[in-house]
Chains A and B, each alone.
Chain A
Amino acid sequence: MNTDTVYPKVREIIADVLAFDEEEIQRDGSLVEDYSAESIDFLDLVYQLEREFKIKIPRGMIEQEARRGVDEGEFEEHGRLTDKGLEHLRKYLSEVPEDRFTPGMQVSLIPTLFTPETFCKIVIREMEQGERAASD
């Protein structure tokens, strides 16, 4: 399964949640910067995706997974990403255009990187995990 299969529905949900026309949603657009998404929108979006795809998306999952394999102090310092943390995040959010990662960026600004494709990846991952759990 790849993200193309879920993208049309994810885009439809994102457009609906953020009150845009579907055609206006770019797959690599920043939900925060380009579509003015705020924290309530992310809550709404995650819930709508969970309902549509019958999955559970753990809260804070993106950040937690991006941190995996890196010690706390290595990932961030005083609320800002270290070079190593940034590198790790860049790999994890490989769908996000390179130029949006800025050295020393604040950890609290990680959600500004999320794109529609980020959520497609999450949906696929959780669907596959659900299938694995069901077959165990």
Chain B
Amino acid sequence: MFHFVDQILELDPGRHALGIKRVRTDEIFVRLNADGKATLLSCILGEALGQLGAWSVMAAKGFTVRPVAGVVGEVAISGEAAVGDSVLLDTTIDSVTDDAVFYHAAASVGGATVLRLENTLGPLLPMEQFNDPKEMRERFARIRHSGDSAGEPQTGGGTAAPFDLSFDEILSFESCKEATAVRALSGSEAFLRDHFPRKPVLPLSLLLESLLQLGQKLLEDSGSLYVPTGAQKVKMSRFVEPGSSLLAKVQVTERSAENALMKFRCEVNGERVCVGQAEYRAIIGENR
């Protein structure tokens, strides 16, 4: 399952939407944070906000088009959503044209913002290339009215293995400086079934999470640990399809005792797929 809006609470199609994502015990995209608490991957919160924006614009456009990942001006990570939490998703569409949607959004838990997306752009493409429009309408009707929590367990009964975020192979690794890594998309990855049924492609959210984690490893040094606080100017310029081998290059451009900055670039067959930068905060000596 790669659907993260459990229920749409309020909707003004093409303008504003409020939704809910409940973090369950059997989620695939949960991992232990530095305190040992099971929390949802930050990038999945971003994915949930993007999906809520997508529902809003798809409803406004009569399910003829759907947005795909394009540019995220800024992702700001300011908290976490733990297992058991209900995350309030709030997406505001700034403008919709024939070929793109522009929006900003925030996810909050108990009134505190945990993640924000700013200056987000999603190209709009014909729905039929990605999904069965009828299925999308039906899903929309379900989450619009009663919510999706009852019928469909998130992981098919809690038996699914957690999503593996690591790259297949680290090609080069120079601590605190730069690293290159590859990951092949085989086509059998579970998330590809929903993203998207008619055109399976690697979600930007998962790619970004992998990159943030690779950067985290790169920044780790004896006694220091850095956690991501956000990413900027993240841009997806091509789809990564099954059979592709993704080459990621991450480079630390700044590193102090307090924070760090990392640039990243991903390519498939030498062509740019995704670029951007990420920020980290040092939590030196804590929880280690």
Cβ-neighbour of B100 out of A16, A36, A41, A43 (below 8 A):
A43
Contact status B275-A40, CB under 8 Å: no
Give complex CA distance A16, B235 in Å: 12
Count of chain A residues near B, Cβ 8 A? 11
User: What is the CB-to-nearest-CB distance from B50 to chain A, in angstroms, rounded to a whole number?
Assistant: 15
CB-defined contacts of B172 to chain A, threshold 8 Å = none
How many Å lie between the Cα of A40 and that of B275 in the bound state? 12
Give Cα A43–Cα B102 distance, bound, in whole angstroms.
10
A44 touches B97 (CB 8 A): no
Set A44, A47, A59: member contacting B235, Cβ < 8 A: A44
Closest to B271 in A: A38
Bound complex: CA A101 to CA B121 (Å): 32
- Distance between B126 CB and nearest chain A CB, rounded to angstroms: 15
Tell whether B152 is near chain A: CB-to-CB under 8 Å: no
Is A19's CB within 8 Å of the partner chain B?
yes
Given contacts A19-B275, A36-B272, A59-B98, contact A43 B70 (CB under 8 A): yes
Which among B102, B237, B272, B275 is the interface contact of A47 at CB below 8 angstroms? B102
Cβ-neighbour of A38 out of B98, B99, B237 (below 8 A): B237
Docked Cα-Cα span, A42 to B173, in Å, equals: 34
* Minimal beta-carbon separation of A29 from chain B (angstroms): 18
B179 interfacial by beta-carbon distance below 8 Å: no
A–B complex contacts, Cβ < 8 Å, 9 sampled = A38-B272, A39-B237, A40-B121, A40-B237, A43-B70, A43-B100, A44-B70, A44-B121, A47-B100
